[in-house]
Amino acid sequence: MFKDLDPILSSPVRLAVMSILLTVKHAHFNDLLKETKTTQGNLSHQLKKLHEAGYIQIEKTFKNNYPLTIVSITEIGTNAFKVYVENIKKYLHLNENNT
């Protein structure tokens, strides 16, 4: 059953980022940093993994001469998240039946 769980989404920080992005059109890096309560380096690394998987888009721009990173979820990411949640539900249901 565990093989059905997407390893990209099995990281707590990546799962948190995806959960946040499902509820908003996009999020700024600093907002994700605050919500995930992780370090800048770790968040950057986790965003890179999600981006490489095609789950998110990252736009780097400037606002008032300060760097601004805007992150949004892709359709691929939305679908992957839905499948992940369904697989977790199946796993939990199997465990309920085996107790």
pTM: 0.88
Residue ranges of the domains in the chain? 2-90
* 2-90 topology per CATH: Arc Repressor Mutant, subunit A (1.10.10)
Q: Can you give the length of the chain in residues?
A: 99
The pLDDT tens digits for 81-92 are: 999 999 999 888
24 phi and psi angles, rounded to 5 deg? -130, 160
The pLDDT tens digits for 58-98 are: 999 999 999 999 999 999 999 999 999 999 998 888 666 66
DSSP character string of 41-78? HHHHHHHHHHHHTTSEEEEEEEETTEEEEEEEE-HHHH
Compute CA 64 distance to the chain's CA centroid, rounded to the nearest angstrom.
28
Question: Residue 68: how many CB atoms within 10 A of its CB?
Answer: 13
